[in-house]
Structure 1
Amino acid sequence: MSQRINGYAVAPEAYKAKAALEDYFKTTAIEPSLMHLIKVRVSQINHCAYCLHMHREEALKDGDTEKRLLLLDAWRESGLFTPRERAALAWAESVTLISTTEAPDADYEAMRFEFNEKDAVDLTFLIAQINGWNRIAVPLRQVHPQDRAR
């Protein structure tokens, strides 16, 4: 696969503006490990290789395990995820697939059981943010770094 457009080179100010929201997430009560899980899971759903590569590496660097990341796509069938993570992952899937899920009350209520009002909004912004990054990287065919020569 080859890159269609180097979006950052063409419109760096747009990327900088979007990246500014990433700094906000560092100030929230959402733990970095959960942020990584959300970013990886949403990127799996959206088939964004660039974001999967980046956020998997970040998660491992910050102490998550290969086993949890391998089983993230099947988190509902795995006991490796906490109730808080499970509620956030269900909400992330519902929001990412909103055209078909319509963000059901059951997912919202499960998320709200684990997250206060402010954290619920921050989590929803985080999900929207990674969906936005995916929707830039996938259509522009942003190429992830190659781990080894082909």
Structure 2
Amino acid sequence: MSYARKEYADFQKLAPDAYEATLALGGFAAKAGRDKELLELVKLRASQINGCAFCVQHHILLAEKLGVSADKLNLLVVWREVSQFSARERAALAWTEALTVRSDGVSDQIYEEVRAEFSDSELTYLTSAIASVNAWNVFGVAYRWTPPGRQARPSAAAS
């Protein structure tokens, strides 16, 4: 069992400017009126890939609060294999995986799929949300932040 090296709250105290910048990047898409449920699925999927326990739990809690179905949350890890996800969600999840894993870059096929579902502005905001959650994941994994409990949720603005 590994223990936290630092906690989420420590990040706020130790580097408030970096915390605020990361928080701001993550909030732009939601502030621009983008689909909050979709953004939580994207953030949750990136967090699963990156192995950030804190962010996985955080985004599950936020998604539940927004009314994302338990089926979608439970099956997100195998989204390609099930029918619960719309074409728009599938495009966003493929984009998320391409930007999170990045070993193969972003194929023209994935780019065309996501462009068919999102306007230029929407795609830019979606990309900013993915960049933000990946940054949060770096901190969460590096410091092994303790996942939040159902009673002790971090602010909805985080990541």
TM-score when normalising by structure 1: 0.92
Q: Number of residue pairs matched?
A: 147
Residue 62 in 1 paired to residue 79 in 2?
no
SS in structure 1 of the partner of residue 145 of structure 2: coil
1:84 equivalent in structure 2: 88
What's 2:4 paired with?
3
Return the match for 1:102 from 96, 100, 105.
Answer: 105
Select which of 116, 122, 129 maps to 1:126. 129
Moved over 3 A (4+): none
Contact 2:42 2:92 in 1 (8 A): yes
Structure 1 residue 146, shift from structure 2 partner: 4.4
In structure 2, which of residues 10, 17, 33 is the aligned counterpart of residue 13 of structure 1?
Answer: 17
Residue matched to 1:44: 48
1:101 partner SS: coil
Q: Which runs of 5+ in 2 are unaligned?
A: 152-159
Contact 2:28 2:128 in 1 (8 A): no
Query: Please, which runs of 5 or more residues in structure 1 have no aligned partner?
Result: none
Q: Percent identical across equivalent pairs? A: 38
Report deviation, 1:2.
Answer: 1.7
Q: Which amino acid aligns with 1:119?
A: E
Q: Which has the higher contact order (CA 8 A, sep 6+)?
A: 2
Q: Which amino acid aligns with 1:43?
A: S
Query: How large is the RMSD of aligned CA atoms in angstroms?
Result: 1.5
Contact kept in structure 2, 1:29 and 1:119, CA below 8 Å: no
1:87 Cα deviation from its structure 2 partner: 0.4
